[in-house]
Amino acid sequence: MAASTDSIFSQKKIPTGLNLTESVQKDIRLKQQDSIQIAFKPDSVYKPDPKKAIWFSLLCPGLGQLYNRRYWKLPFVAAGVVGVAYAINWNSKYYNAYTSGYRDIMDDDPNTKSYLKLLPTDSNYPESELVTVLKNRQQSFRRSRDLSYIGAVGVYLICILDAFVDAQLYDFDISPDLSVTPSAPRINTYGGAKAVEFSLAFQF
């Protein structure tokens, strides 16, 4: 950078035909130096907008983190989305299967026996017990499916909240500097009685 600056200074020579004093020439050089420093001024620090972060997160989980340039959070968001999607698909599949099996065993058609595919090959349940098993498993998978939907909503809201808080505190100073400023003790009088007062001031 020094070499390029010197070359720029050499290109912008002060005209020799003018009768300028040394102080005027110095002022011209300072103005040239200031203009060069402005030209090489770095870009301003990136500061995300919390409202935009919320809108991006509302569109799709992870877009808010991408807008905030928190790229290391994207794998966690992807893992959460894939996890709840897999849980919803798994529990919905077996809930539908046990619902169909329970309906088959409760109807009067002997040809509808889809529930046999859901049982072990060596199982020998009585019909009354088999109805209870199918009903309990159907309710269990329905409960798990509903919890999976709640988990999906939770992941969605967490992504929105994280993007908003991260954008709001993007330039927050988290330096570990902590100073304590004690003050000298003072003797105060309260209702005729004397008391010694101490105070400490914490600076974060």
- For residue 127, pLDDT over 60 is answered with yes
For the chain, the structural domain boundaries read 2-39, 50-168
Contacts of 71 (CB under 8 A, 6+ apart): 65
pLDDT one-digit tens code per residue, 190-204: 555 555 565 655 555
For 111-116, what is the mean pLDDT? 70
pLDDT one-digit tens code per residue, 16-52: 544 556 665 666 666 655 555 544 444 468 889 999 9
Looking at per-residue pLDDT, the higher value among 162 and 5 belongs to 162
Looking at per-residue pLDDT, the higher value among 114 and 102 belongs to 102
Of the pLDDT bands very low, low, confident and very high (cuts 50, 70, 90), residue 2 is: very low
pLDDT recorded at residue 17: 47
- For residue 115, pLDDT over 50 is answered with yes
Residue 145 and residue 150: Cα distance in Å, rounded? 9
For 81-101, what is the mean pLDDT? 93
Whole-number percent of the chain with pLDDT over 70: 56
- The answer to whether residues 195 and 176 touch, using CB atoms and an 8 Å cutoff, is no
- For residue 7, pLDDT over 50 is answered with no
3-state helix/strand/coil string of the chain: CHHHHHHHHHHCCCCCCCCCCHHHHHHHHHHHHHHHHHHCCCCCCCCCCHHHHHHHHHHCCCHHHHHCCCHHHHHHHHHHHHHHHHHHHHHHHHHHHHHHHHHHHHCCCCCCCHHHHHCCCCCCCCHHHHHHHHHHHHHHHHHHHHHHHHHHHHHHHHHHHHHHHHHHCCCCCCCCCCEEEECCCEEEEECCEEEEECCEEEEC
- The answer to whether residues 53 and 164 touch, using CB atoms and an 8 Å cutoff, is yes
- The answer to whether residues 166 and 62 touch, using CB atoms and an 8 Å cutoff, is no
pLDDT recorded at residue 200: 53
The residue type found at 121 is: T
